[in-house]
Each structure stands twice: as structure tokens, then as C-alpha cells.
Amino acid sequence: MSGGSAGRDAPGTAAATAGGRRLDAALRLLDRQLVDRDGRLCGKVDDLELERRDDGSLVVTAILTGPGALGPRLPGVLGRVTVAVWRRLHGDAEPGASRIPFERVAEIDSAVHLTMSRVEAPTHGLERWARENVVEKLPGAGDAPD
């Protein structure tokens, strides 16, 4: 496994190359809003997957998002419970944190813009569950606001 994780306190991850751009990954990427290609919000950059190149530089290879990535960054019991609940609800036996390959990032400004639709995003599960089991049971859920 050459991949690592970029929790804010991990040493040596302050600067990383992202999509050919050098930037402070902890400051400019972590915890930023993810926006899909239609301008819809679809989660946060909860963690980053890093790879060390031969020259020793760190490269961001993927964005990790969802409870599986956020849980380990939360303190103590809360973090463990988050991960445990997420694993239990997840379909796979040994789920890894949901990852979005960095090639799917279109642009980074005050948010991280993706080239995918949020329906394809790996964190759509909870939102889909709430839509199918709560919101769509109520009258008028599909009506346009305008």
C-alpha cells in the first residue's frame, strides 16, 4: 500500500501536488465543499489519499469522502461509533472509505468541482435513503420551488 491518509495532524503532508498544481493540501483541500457537474452539493473533502513519488514529493491521488473518511478524524468514541455504524450499514464486508479519483476534479476554488454527477458520487447513499424513505413519502416533494 503506497497510499496514505492526510489527516490534518499527519506530518509531512502540508504540501502536495494536486492535478499538476502545487498547493497546501491541508489548507486548500481538506474539509472543502464538493460540487458536482450540475452545481449540486455532494459532500465534503473529508480526507485525502496521498502517494509518495520516487522523488519524495507527495501527490494527491484521490478525495476520500463520507462517514468512512470523516469518522477516523473525529475524536474518541464518536469517531469509532461513526465508522462502526457506517460499516454496519455498508453493503461490503470490508468497506474502504469512499474515494473519488483526483482525475474527476475539474476545478478548485472556494469549493472542489467534480466532473461527475452527484448520483454517481460514492456518498449518495444516505441522501438517497432519506429521499426514498422520508421526503418522497410527503406530498409535493418533486415540485419546483419557483
Partner 1 sequence: MKRVLSVALGVLTAIGGFVDVGDLVTNALVGARFGVSLLWVVVVGVLGIVVFAEMSGRVAAMTGRATFDLVRERLGPRAGLLNLAGSMAVTGLTFVAEIGGVALALELVSSVNYLLLVPFTGLAVWLVLWRVRFSILENVFGLLGLALLVFAVAVWRLGPDWSSLVDQATHPSVPGSEGVPTYWYYAVALFGAAMTPYEVFFFSSGGVEEHWTRKDLGTSRLNVLVGFPLGGVLSFAIAISTALVLLPAGIEVDTLGQVGLPVSEAVGRVGIAIALLGFFAATFGAACETGLSVGYSVSQYFGWQWGKYVRPREAALFHTVLLLSTIAGVAVLLTTVDPIKVTEYSVVFSAVALPLTYFPILVVANDPDYMGEKVNGRLANGLGQVYLVLVTLAAVAAIPLMLLTKAGQ
**Which residues contact partner 1 (rule: CB under 8 A)?**
8, 28, 30-34, 40-44, 46, 65, 70, 73-75, 78, 109-111, 118, 126-128, 130-131, 134-136, 138, 140-146
Which sign does the torsion angle of CA 43, 45, 47, 50 carry? positive
Q: Which is nearer to partner 1, 85 or 130 (CB)?
A: 130
Distance between CA 54 and CA 61 in Å, rounded? 15
- Cα within 13 Å of Cα(25), Cβ side: 33
Comparing C-alpha atoms, which of 56, 45, 54 is closest to residue 15? 56
Q: Which is nearer to partner 1, 44 or 104 (CB)?
A: 44
Q: Which is nearer to partner 1, 76 or 91 (CB)?
A: 76
In whole angstroms, the minimum distance from the beta carbon of 29 to partner 1 comes to 10
